[in-house]
Structure 1
Amino acid sequence: MRSELFSAENLERESAQPGMRLQNSKMLKIALNGETMARVGSMVAYQGQMQFQALGSGGLGKFLKQKLTGEGVPLMKVTGVGDLFLADFAKDVHIIDLEPGDALSINGSSVLAFDSGLQYDVRMVGGAGMASSGLFNCVFTGHGRIAITTKGTPVVLSVDAPTYVDPQAAVCWSASLQTGYHRAEQLGLGTLLGRRTGEAFTMSFAGQGFVVVQPSEEAPVTGSGQQEQRGGLGSLLS
């Protein structure tokens, strides 16, 4: 049988050692020998013997935070030995190595998988209060690898000058950065008449670090899964 489908670039990439690697730009391969944490529903194939256990948001505390804030990662624990393939609606996949002392603040919707040795918590983004109806992110720390996704090819901005990003386009950033909310749209007669730029607020970043920005805007999602911003109590009771 002959086809360009069977070209070398589409064949499974062999892993020299256990852990994460890119099968291609849209798919993650994990040579598993133990356990890993992955986004619920992200498995597209596996070879070997594996078990999948749903963990919700990773514990009761994280579950409550997810219901209150709308932020978090619906997780499953995968254990076994073999090759695991993960993807998320054909988004681009990127692998980040966290070293001891590193801290990565990331939008929960962009988390695909991470080593079980990493720790994460849901925290409010500094400076993003009532103006943004509360903005929360997952902060990862520890030593290990995390695979994230972006809608399209991102740009990594080095924060060496005041930097402003649309909150729905910001994927992740150095957790050591100082963040805030900045009114980008000028108020005036046009605003009162309903003329809007669509850029009412931007996130500001200062300090030393980086911000990853994707060429697409994520719609705000609450704990109930609706595409809108609501208060935390309403999400908890829904």
Structure 2
Amino acid sequence: MTAIHNPSTLGASDNIPDNSYAFCIDLTAPWFIRKGAMIAYYGQMQFQALTHGLHGAALHMVANQFSAPLYMGDYAVAEGFGKLIIGDRGYDINSYDLDDGNLTIRASNLLAFEPGLALNQSIVPGFLTLIGTGKFLASSNGPVMFAEPPLRIDPEALVGWADCPSPSHHYDQGWISNFLAAGAHMMGINSGEERQFDFTGAGTVLIQSSEKVLSDTHVVRSIEGQIHGITPTGLQRLNGVIAAKLAEQPR
């Protein structure tokens, strides 16, 4: 029989019993929550968007802990008390604890975090960096694996990395040969296996159990944020690349 939940059965912050797709936050202090993640709650709560209407402690918290202007519109501050249940389109959700740590995560995977953590934009497009001490919640397409560098992984399988340098791109010999043979024309190789992220040094890499990126919205937004610095020649080249990619899509 399907379990019927209430505040007493949900207990402390954890996944809903026997359900890896939903997480219950025992809200006693403010959290940063990605818009759209809340699916239900017990108690008294309010959700304030970061882009307007903030005041008092919430405004101070955002000013000190949220340094990612491209993502201001994606998050709200959840305040009050009770049981806050969140989900993400049926993807697995896990909680992670940082202790004076440094973790970079794909923006589309980050769902919520405590204000003991500061959020910064990563230099890697589409990724965010959490610094400090506290708990955060992230979704993934399948269970998450933890691996030590040195290793190479498929970019689409990457969830994030902790306490190690940012990755570099690695292209295999076959891709380079095709790239040169095509006269530096980058179209026509679509498997994804020719390009990997190369991690070196100490630390931990988080890898989801599939090659499906949850969303590319944040990468697109990062590119849009850099358009103003591109010359007309660069814009024409970018337009050509986009047109070629669109032509490859099935009709």
Which TM-score band (shorter chain)?
Answer: 0.7 to 0.9
* Secondary structure of 1:45's aligned partner: strand
Query: Which residue does the alignment assign to 1:201?
Result: 195
Which residue in 2 is equivalent to 1:11? 5
Distance 1:122 1:72, change over 3 A: farther
1:154 and 2:154 matched: no
1:11 Cα deviation from its structure 2 partner: 3.3
- Letter of the 2:155 counterpart: P
**Aligned match for 2:14, one of 8, 21, 46:** 21
Query: Larger % of helix: which?
Result: 2
Match of 1:176 in 2: 164
Work out which of the residue numbers 159, 165, 185 in structure 1 matches 2:153.
Answer: 165
Q: What SS does structure 2 have at the residue aligned with 1:168?
A: helix
> Which residue is 1:37 aligned to?
32
| Matched AA of 1:158 | E
Structure 2, unaligned stretches of length 5 or more?
52-61, 230-251
Higher strand fraction (1 or 2) = 1
Deviations 1:120-146 (A, max 9, x none): 100213xxxxxxxxx352111111101
Deviations 1:172-214 (A, max 9, x none): 1114235211113533469749455333421110111111111
- Which residue in the other structure is 1:186 paired with? 175
- Asked if 2 retains the 8 angstrom alpha-carbon contact of 1:73 and 1:108, the reply is no
Q: Measured at CA, do residues 44 and 87 of structure 1 come closer, stay the same or move farther in structure 2, by a change above 3 Å?
A: same
Give percent identity, aligned residues only.
26
- Report the Cα distance in structure 1 between the residues aligned to 2:168 and 2:220, rounded to whole angstroms: 26
**2:227 paired with 1:234:** yes
Counterpart for residue 123 of structure 1 = 122
TM-score (norm 2): 0.71
**Contact 1:39–1:76 at 8 Å: present in 2 too?**
yes
Distance 2:37 2:139 in 1: 11
Give distance in 1, aligned partners of 2:168 and 2:159.
Answer: 16
Deviations 1:50-105 (A, max 9, x none): 1111115x669522xx2xxxx778111011111110111011011111102x1011
Instruction: Give the direction of change, closer, same or farther, for the CA distance of 1:198–1:178 in structure 2 (3 Å limit).
Output: closer
Partner of 1:97: 97
* Corresponding residue number in structure 1 for 2:68: 62
Name the SS for the 1:143 alignment partner: strand
After superposition, the Cα gap between the structure-2 partners of 1:222 and 1:40, relative to the gap in structure 1 and judged at 3 Å, is closer
The separation in 2 between residues aligned to 1:189 and 1:62, in whole angstroms, is 38
Cα deviation, 1:9-28, whole Å, max 9, x if unaligned, reads x6353325xxx321131111
Q: Is the 8 A contact 1:43 1:86 kept in 2?
A: yes
Provide the TM-score with structure 1 as the length reference. 0.75
